[in-house]
Amino acid sequence: MMGQLPGGQHRLFYSFNLEDHVPAQHLLRSIDQCLDLSDLRSYLADFYSPIGRPSVDPELMVRMLIVGYCYGIRSERRLCEEAHLNLAYRWFCRLGLEDEVPNHSTFSKKRHGRFRDSDLFRWLFNEVLRRCMAAGLVKGEGVAVDASVIKADASKQRGIARDEVDWSNAALSSRAVREYLEALDDEALAETLPKKVSLSDPQSRWTAAPGGPAFFAYSTNYLIDTEHGVIVDVEATPAHRTAEVDSTRTMIDRAEAQFDLTPARLIGDTAYGTAPMLAWMVEEKNIEPHVPVWDKTERKDDSFSSNDFRWHPEADEYRCPADKPLRNGWRIVSQQRSKVTKDNTIIYRSSRGDCDTCPLKSKCCSNTPTRKIARSIHEAARDVARRVSNTPQYIVSRCERKKVEMLFAHLKRITKLDRIRLRGLSGATDEFTIAALVQNLRRMAKLLPQGPPHTG
């Protein structure tokens, strides 16, 4: 028999419990078990006035932001609409059926005001990470690092040569431009400033790193624990390789200072295999580098590469395949000079007399009178990385490094963070930090559906 909608007079009273309409296996239920915001109000107390009109509850706004980043709702206007209509979102945000959802403009005011001044999102990230550590999801022995390029909210049509911009023009006095001008005093940023900048977001970097047409972008850098793929730290940088590699030091030092995490090994790709970076890992941090060595001396023809020459540390010289020495000085000079070049290398050269009569000259230095080898002052650390690359654990590390790439894939495809909405390096930091803490919450919710143990 064909049914029909009930007609007649509607009921005057309804018995409705929001708790009963959220499925037991819903993702937000598991995330709610892992989230503890009991200290949020006390953390923000100094940034609110004790008198005046009450503001929107900061816990409500944080919970709404978590919902947005969890389900890829990038627009704050749409987030408010979804929180108004979706029962599960209302339940997670502690809103009743008749409670009013905040206006979308409130998020912009809080982001650029109290939330940024208090560094709230970094505090939230640390609190979530502490719960991960209390639950045993962070082993702390092996960490992996990588960076992913995220498009900035800047059009390439607004790009212009840096020297042609009149920064005193009042029309360019936006928040992103003011942050850019303030950061010019930062030597680390000034060293990576490109020739082309965006008038909309000058701190973004013009890059074609992913392949294809160039665009303005930032990089999100992840440091993850390889045991369960928990993000130990996150750092936003301009999309520049030097800045990405340098962020590794910042993240490892910060994790050590705040959580006493000292990893035994670090896993990364070739970009992290530069000589200074390997020396920092081996000599300063005592970290085993599971990183390919950045080496451009390998020759593609059948001639001898630097690896074909044997190093003799006792004599401070190389030996060529013909067992002839290469030294950093053949003459005795009265005034000693520094032998280190501006590239932090020491040049070792062979004797011309040895090379002229050598039968292997055609495979060694056919176009030059003698052979020379540039040895890095950090070559000992490079040798450590080469020895590690021959171990079985290194093969395992190559597979563990993919966990970082999986997080980046989730970040762009599920969280929809393939283009940031906030401008400036501070805006990129906010977005990347929130996204990372939400990914950690999802990981906890998957591995610990009943929630982690209480840390207090």
- pLDDT on residue 167: 55
Given a cut of 90, whether residue 432 has pLDDT beyond it is yes
Express each pLDDT in 353-400 by its tens digit: 888 888 888 888 888 888 988 888 898 999 999 999 999 999 999 999
DSSP string, 351-362: -HHHHHT-TTHH
- pLDDT on residue 14: 67
377 neighbors 346 (Cβ within 8 angstroms): yes
- pLDDT on residue 10: 67
Express each pLDDT in 34-47 by its tens digit: 999 999 999 998 88
Q: Which helix (H) or strand (E) holds 93?
A: none
Express each pLDDT in 146-165 by its tens digit: 999 999 988 877 676 665 55
Centre a 10 Å sphere on the Cβ of residue 166 and count the other Cβ atoms it contains.
7
Instruction: Name the residue with tokens 């309804």.
Output: 14
Q: What percent of the chain has pLDDT over 90?
A: 49
Report the residue count for the chain: 456
Q: Which residues contact 318 (CB under 8 A, 6 or more apart)?
A: 309, 310, 311, 312, 325, 326, 348, 373, 375
Instruction: Name the residue with tokens 């047409």.
Output: 213
Distance between CA atoms of residues 332 and 418, nearest Å: 60
Express each pLDDT in 169-219 by its tens digit: 655 566 666 666 666 555 444 555 566 778 788 888 888 877 788 889 999
Express each pLDDT in 271-303 by its tens digit: 999 999 999 999 999 999 999 998 877 777 778
Domain limits, the chain? 18-118, 124-293+386-447, 302-331+340-365
Strands (E), 14-103: none
**Dihedral angle of Cα 30, 32, 35, 38, to the nearest 10 degrees:** -150
Per the prediction, the chain carries an average pLDDT of 86
Distance between CA atoms of residues 150 and 425, nearest Å: 12
Coil, strand or helix: which one is 389? coil
Q: What percent of the chain has pLDDT over 70?
A: 87
Of 80-89, 99-108, 188-197, 333-342, give the lowest mean pLDDT range. Answer: 188-197
- pLDDT on residue 335: 60
- pLDDT on residue 268: 94
Burial readout 381-395 (b: 16 or more C-beta within 10 A, e: otherwise): bbebbbebbeeeebe
